[in-house]
Structure 1
Amino acid sequence: MRRTTLATLTLAAVLLGTQPASAETATETAKGWEPAPSAPWDVGAGVRCDFPVHGEPVVDEVVRRVLSTYPDGSVRRVAYKGDLVVRVTNTGTGASYDADASGSAVVEHRPDGSQLWAVHGPVLVGVGQDQGSLPRGLYLVDGVYTMEISPTGYKSVRLLHGTTDDLCARIG
């Protein structure tokens, strides 16, 4: 229930908010939210798509808030929200697509290294060969769903209501 409430409140704040982004970011920081920037990344041919891919944030206003910690102080549960647009480029041809991955999520980090994501909205998900419930690829998964990541990196996406957009096909 708490996860649903957080996603609903986050969506309401985004839809109803009237402050400029810079004022909103300052307000969020004061409420315990901190910037969570995304780094550019590269994957070789065959890792996600049949060709090499580069990802680069062109809009990155993602913030995170630690919701709970383990007794040793390590993060147990963290919430993420904010605008994120990643330019995904086929480095072989130069074809690109700006993927809006501005979803919100609550991520539970487990002691065994696994994670459980409760997501509302679009998130960029990369899946290796035989490493997920989705075929190898790079996807924009949108909707209401969970994603479980095992300690070995296997990603199991369970859509309650949503879609998957194959970005390899978009830029291939």
Structure 2
Amino acid sequence: MYLAAATLLALTAGGGWVPAPSAPWDMLAGARCDFAVHGEPVVDEVVKRVVATDPDGSVRTVAYKGDLVVRVTNTGTGASYDADAGGSALVTYAKGGSQHWKVAGPVLVGFAENGGTLPRGLYIVDGLYTLDISATGYKTLTLQAGSVDPLCARID
């Protein structure tokens, strides 16, 4: 079942938000792109709010929202692209380590070789969709409406 955009927006309204900064990251050649990649937030106004906990008090579901632009750079050539990744998401964390994301808007997602329903790469996924991440890291993207933009090709 897909989450309507209005439902997601309603669940991400209200108070109790705290900053959720994104750290810079590096990927070796072959991990996501054929070349080494560096990612660094150039705009990061993402906030999060716990919306559900388990009976033991552990976090179950977290809402995320806010502007995020990540500069993705080919470290070999210096070519870069500023990727809008400022979507809104509800992420449900399972005890076994899996995650279920309900998303409206753009999010930066990486896929390893044989690690999901998209080929190895870095992508901006935009629209209405779900992303299921198994405990082993396998990612299943179910796009209701939207687009998938391959970032490796933009900075090759």
1:117-148 deviation digits (Å, cap 9, x = unpaired): 00000000000000010000000000000000
Tell me how far apart the structure 1 counterparts of residues 121 and 94 of structure 2 sit (CA, whole Å). Answer: 25
The Cα of 1:10 is off from its aligned counterpart by 7.7
Whether contact under 8 Å (2:66, 2:86) holds in the other structure is: yes
The structure carrying a bigger helix percent of its residues is 1
1:53-103 deviation digits (Å, cap 9, x = unpaired): 000000000000000111221110010000000000000000000000010
- Between 1 and 2, higher relative CO (CA 8 Å, sep ≥ 6) is seen in 2
Q: Which TM-score applies when normalising by structure 1? A: 0.85
RMSD (Å) for aligned C-alpha atoms: 1.7
Tell me how far apart the structure 2 counterparts of residues 126 and 158 of structure 1 sit (CA, whole Å). Answer: 15
Q: Where do 5+ consecutive residues of structure 1 fail to align?
A: 14-27
Whether contact under 8 Å (2:47, 2:66) holds in the other structure is: yes
Q: Which TM-score applies when normalising by structure 2? A: 0.94
Match of 1:106 in 2: 90
Runs of 4+ aligned residues of structure 1 deviating over 4 Å after TM superposition are none
Identity of aligned residues (%): 67
The Cα of 1:6 is off from its aligned counterpart by 4.2
The Cα of 1:157 is off from its aligned counterpart by 0.3
Match of 2:106 in 1: 122
The structure carrying a bigger strand percent of its residues is 2
Larger Rg: 1
Tell me how far apart the structure 2 counterparts of residues 6 and 56 of structure 1 sit (CA, whole Å). Answer: 31
